[in-house]
Amino acid sequence: MTAELIALAERVPKVELHLHIEGSLEPELMFALAQRNGVALPYDSVEAVRAAYQFSNLQEFLDLYYQGMSVLQTEQDFYDLTMAYLQRIHADNVVHTEVMFDPQGHLERGIAFETVFNGIERALRDGERQMEISYRLIMSFLRHLSEESAFDTLREAEPFLGRIDAVGLDSSEKGHPPEKFARVFARCRDLGLRLTAHAGEEGPPDYVWQAIDGIGVDRIDHGNRALEDEALVAELVERKLTLTVCPLSNLKLCVVDDMAQHPILDMLKRGLKATVNSDDPAYFGGYVNDNYRALIAHLPLTHSHLYDLVRNGFDGAWMTNAERQKHIRTLDQAFSVRC
């Protein structure tokens, strides 16, 4: 049964709704870009870089994550990073991805917004043409920085907003509640951008309330700790808000102690629109199919659960309805089940 489910999960069309492109920087590419750009790293080999991808909490991960960004210098670097990710998810039968990028992490290094954006977007366009992977682009604000910095970044992004689909909120959650960014998100909403925010990963359920009521997000990234508040669960179900859950990330960052304890099936049981995503796959041990394999191997996941998780991804994606229905038909054929 497990092998059959894994094979099914691997071959069906899927989406990814929670992916930080900088978090797909594999050790091999980090080392290659460091050499190409003359960036000094405290490692003398790819193996040493890989060994450094060890951490025990979110802040340790973020310290390593921002260090890794230092090798990204040119438009071609951002293109190569994004194209490597697209080639990898193509092998996983991911047909649509919604990619987050962190411009503040590059602007503060002196890298121009257009350098970052043009490299990422050019790869996404090429990936759509060459591999038929559709995409949406999410500009994320770093919550450990000020709201003023977020407004400054939004001004930098103004010439590109017609090609950006949404804004998000990421980085260290504790001590940086969503309400800190209420005004900048209101401005983004006025500009016609969709809104999402990391909430309830390490922060309390109140952060999820702030995201849905204070900011009015269209989607919640993570959302695990929402389960601690029955009224919040009921509200998320009522609003049909998608949760972009990241199982291997949760394990690596100790949000859960064991994959067998992951709450994603409880989320489905309670009617939440949980989905499966990789978050920062180079650092957390796997891409989309790796996350599905981990869930199937450690939880009593059924055909019905698998269908719901994949289908929730399509329902929560910011794709056109025509694209969605095309992929859902293929999904239903693979499962030979109800629509």
Say how far residue 287 (Cα) sits from the centre of its chain: 11
Structure tokens at 7: 């094979």
- Give Cα 231 distance to the centre of its chain: 26
Q: Which of the residues 16, 173, 201, 202 is marked catalytic?
A: 201
Contact 97, 21 (CB under 8 A): no
Q: Is 190 exposed, middle or buried (0-12, 13-18, 19+ CB in 10 A)?
A: exposed
74 burial level (CB within 10 Å; 0-12, 13-18, 19+) = middle
Beta strands in 63-152 (DSSP E): 94-101, 134-142
Q: Is 96 annotated in some ligand binding site?
A: no
* CA R_g for the chain: 19
The single-letter DSSP state of residue 44 is S
Which pair of structure tokens corresponds to residue 197? 């925010």
Q: Is 144 annotated as a binding residue?
A: no
Residue 339 CB burial class (10 angstroms; 0-12, 13-18, ≥19): exposed
Answer yes or no: is 63 a known binding residue.
no
Look up residue 279 and give its DSSP letter. Answer: B
Contact at 8 Å (CB) between 210 and 178? Answer: yes
CA distance 177 to 195: 15
Closest Cα partner for 167 from 186, 148, 146? 186
Binding residue per annotation — 18?
yes
Among this protein's residues, is 147 annotated catalytic? Answer: no
CA distances in angstroms from 100 to 4, 5, 116, listed in the order given: 32, 29, 12
Q: Please give the full DSSP string across 13-57, using - where no structure is assigned.
A: -EEEEEEEGGGG--HHHHHHHHHHHT---S-SSHHHHHHH---SS
Distance between CA atoms of 203 and 136, rounded to whole angstroms?
26
279 is in an annotated binding site: yes
Q: Residues annotated in the binding site for Zn(2+), as ranges?
A: 18, 20, 198, 279
Binding residues: 18, 20, 198, 279-280
Active site residues: 201
Binding annotation for substrate: 280
